[in-house]
Amino acid sequence: MHVLAGVHTAGKTSLGLRLQEIGYDFFPEVAMESIAGLSPWELGPSFDESVIAEELARDSKLRMHRQPLFVETWHIGNLAYARVRNPSVALKYEARVRAHVSEFSPLVYFLDLKVDLLRERTAYFTHESDRTKAVSFYSHVRREFFETFGLLHVSPIIVDASRDFASVLGTILQHEEHHCAISSRSKGPEGSGGGLPREANGRDREQRPTAPDQINEGGAK
C-alpha cells in the first residue's frame, strides 16, 4: 500500500486520480473537509471518530487487494487531524491505528506545503478572519503530521508540493520505479521475503524525520 498524505489543498486527490488513469488503483480519503457548513477546525469528536472507524473498516477491503494501490490520507492523516482538533478521539484509537499501520507497512508520500503557500491556497475563504484561522489550523496539522509519523514509526518520502503538478507526479513515479526495482531484487529465489523500500538516494526508510524543516525531498536531512 502507498499513501498520499498532506494537508488540505496539497494535491492528494488530483494526484490519486492521475495515478488511477495510468494504472494504479486509487482509494480516495474517507473524510470530507467540512459538513453542515462547519469549518474544518470546528468539527467535533463524532466526526473524527466516524472517519477513523470507517477507515479501520475499509482496511478489510484493502487487505484483499492485490493490485498496486494508492490510498489518500488513510490513518496517518486521519490521526494527525484528530490530534489537532479532538485529541481524546486520537488517543482512543491510537493503539488500533498503530497496529493497522504496522500490518500494512505503507510507503508514504507526504505532500508538503509551507505556510506561505497555504495562505495562497486557502484564498477560497472569503473572510480574512476565516482565512487566518484556516492557515493557522492547517499549519498546526502540518506540524502534527511529523509528530504522527514518529508516533506510528513511519518514515515518509517528503515531496515538495509547491511545484507544478507534472513535477510532483514525476517525483512520485520515479520513486515508484525505484521501489519496484528494490522490491524485485529483495525477493528470494522462490518469490518470498522482501526488504524495506528505500529512498531514491539509497537510505533505508527506517531513518526517522526529526523536524519538518530539516527534511527535503526524498526523506534526506
Report pLDDT digits (tens) over 167-219. Answer: 999 999 999 988 776 555 555 444 333 333 333 333 333 333 444 443 344 44
Rounded-to-integer distance, Cα 158 and Cα 217, Å: 5
pTM score: 0.80
**Residue found under cell 500490518:** 103
pLDDT at residue 45 above 90?
yes
User: Going from the N-terminus, what domains does the chain have, and what CATH number goes with each?
Assistant: 2-214 (3.40.50.300)
pLDDT at residue 129 above 50?
yes
Partners of 42 in the β-ladder:
none
More confident residue, 50 or 127: 50
pLDDT band at 90 (very low <50, low <70, confident <90, very high): very high
Rounded-to-integer distance, Cα 145 and Cα 59, Å: 21
pLDDT at residue 111 above 70?
yes
Least confident of 70-79, 87-96, 116-125: 116-125
- With 0-12 / 13-18 / 19 or more C-beta atoms within 10 angstroms meaning exposed / middle / buried, residue 53 is middle
